[in-house]
Homo-oligomer: A and B are copies of this chain.
């Protein structure tokens, strides 16, 4: 398997081991990982640290020219927020582990010129299927759906 997708899956598993939502992401530039992250909603009480956001935050402040040559890997199809961040920074290519358990605005992202590769990884699907079955309220909260109520 693509070693970068493997690294994103490793991030997802780390998040799960921390009690979090198992979604991971890495940012790759010139064949090297320059940022990695995983969903930290639970761990940091965060409303914005989806895996891709955590990854980009950990990559730090980069010049536009770096983003524009980079590839973002995510174990799951990026949501509206994370897709918007890809568009903001002009990241030209996103490799997506799976888009079966959740699917972001892929057609819109493609219409803005971003190349999306859907790997359809059984490992990625299994992580999410098991998590959604065990913690549906947390998953709903993460994607802004009703049923994700904590209060």
Contacts and interface: CB of A to CB of B under 8 A. Distances in A.
A80 B143 CA distance: 18
A64 B146 contact: yes
Choose among A45, A143, A144 the residue with the greatest number of B CB atoms under 10 Å from its CB.
A144
A113 to B, nearest CB: 12
A79 B67 CA distance: 16
Interface string A35-49: 000000100011110
Give the size category of A's interface with B.
35 or more
B47 A144 contact: no
Contacts of A1: none
Nearest to A57: B48
A74 to B, nearest CB: 14
